[in-house]
Amino acid sequence: MSRDWGYYRIRVLAYILLSLSVGTVFYDIGTTTSFIALLARVNCGGYVMGLLTLLSIAGFPSFIEEVKVFSHERTKGHYGNAVFVLSNFLSSFPFLVGISVSSITIIFYMGKIGSDFSHYAYLCLVLFGCIAAVESSMMLAASLVPNYKMGILVGCGFIGVMMLASGYYRKQDDMPKPFLRYPISYISFMAWTFKGLYKSLLMGLEFDPLIPGDPKLKGEFLLRTMLGISLSHSKWWDLAAVLAIAVSYRLLFLAVLKLKEQGSPPLLTLYTNKILQLLRKRQKPCLSSERHHPPYSLSSQEGFSSPIV
């Protein structure tokens, strides 16, 4: 990573600049309790988690290079699959923490979207888990696709489906049941991220009603009705689900590497045997032509006219 500035360091700078832009747009939204401020909180949370997560795909070319380097070194027997998967996560861990802390720090204090350290720590953890899940899924895609262009296409499509099933654009109860709701909404890390995020941003707060004179709107009521989020479990369980999905992607990545390693020799042998069979069936080229006559013995050539005479 120290030889590739585009791997994480430029990404950290991009996250900081983007967070400054988000903090400027949603500046001081936490200081008021108006209905407009409520909508701004919801939009700020969706924008932060959606865009900052999607920005993680920018590192996909580096993921492809890492997998290629590992495949080359694995043939020489330097280290195993599990060591590579673990070391890949540990090497990226400080950068993921830096990205999460720097981004949330800027947005948290510019927007004043929280009141105590527990809200700040939770937002950092949930953004870290979300980005870690994206990078784990991108490493899984890097082991399956042949080049980075196809990988970016697959990654964007995957993140798009996860965002559609997150519950931000439409409540989960209103989604089509066959695909987006069952099972995508339950295995989507974005869905669990948004649930925990909005619980942290809205629970315990009261907002002014849309029509003056009506009773104040409690955050719990808004979570159940406007966003369709169940309050049967704590936000920390949502965070645990995000981290569990990130770990499962890493385990799938390890399984794919092992399957490719065990399946490559039989496939290579089958391919080689097929090529050899085709070569045996191929006929030898004929070298005879009109300019080259078949040889005759000297006795049989008596009386033939010589081309020299």
Dihedral sign from CA coordinates of 128, 129, 131, 135: positive
Measured between alpha carbons, how far is 130 from 134 in angstroms, rounded to an integer? Answer: 6
Give the CA distances from residue 31 to residues 21, 24, 40, 111, 229, in Å, rounded to whole numbers and listed in that order.
Answer: 19, 14, 12, 8, 24
Q: List the one residue out of 205, 241, 243 whose CA is nearest residue 116.
A: 205
Measured between alpha carbons, how far is 44 from 123 in angstroms, rounded to an integer? Answer: 12
CB 11, CB 99: distance < 8 Å: yes
**Per-residue model confidence (pLDDT) at position 255:** 93
Give the CA distances from residue 16 to residues 21, 56, 60, in Å, rounded to whole numbers and listed in that order.
Answer: 9, 13, 20
Measured between alpha carbons, how far is 89 from 106 in angstroms, rounded to an integer? Answer: 25
Residue 56's SS3 state is helix
Amino acid sitting at position 71: S
Preceding omega of 266 cis (within 30 degrees of 0):
no
Q: Quick one: what percent of the chain has pLDDT higher than 70?
A: 87
Give the CA distances from residue 291 to residues 119, 125, 233, 294, 301, in Å, rounded to whole numbers and listed in that order.
Answer: 92, 83, 91, 10, 18
**Per-residue model confidence (pLDDT) at position 19:** 92
CB 241, CB 187: distance < 8 Å: no
CB 136, CB 162: distance < 8 Å: no
Q: What's the predicted TM-score (pTM) here?
A: 0.82
Which tokens is 214 given? 């009506």
Question: Could you read off the pLDDT of 44-93 as tens digits, one per residue?
Answer: 988 888 888 888 888 888 888 888 888 888 888 788 899 999 999 998 89
Domain locations along the chain: 9-269
Amino acid sitting at position 198: Y
Digitized pLDDT (tens) for each residue of the chain, 309 residues in all: 555 666 677 888 889 999 999 999 999 998 888 888 888 888 898 888 888 888 888 888 888 888 888 888 888 878 889 999 999 999 889 989 999 999 999 999 999 988 789 999 999 999 999 999 999 999 999 988 888 888 889 988 999 999 999 988 888 888 988 888 889 999 999 999 999 999 999 998 899 888 888 889 899 999 999 899 999 999 999 999 999 999 999 999 999 998 888 866 676 677 677 777 887 777 555 555 555 555 555 555 555 555 554
Dihedral sign from CA coordinates of 154, 143, 7, 134: positive
Measured between alpha carbons, how far is 170 from 126 in angstroms, rounded to an integer? Answer: 21
Measured between alpha carbons, how far is 123 from 231 in angstroms, rounded to an integer? Answer: 18
Measured between alpha carbons, how far is 208 from 36 in angstroms, rounded to an integer? Answer: 9
Q: List the one residue out of 118, 111, 137 whose CA is nearest residue 43.
A: 111
In sequence order, the β-bridge partners of residue 289 are 292
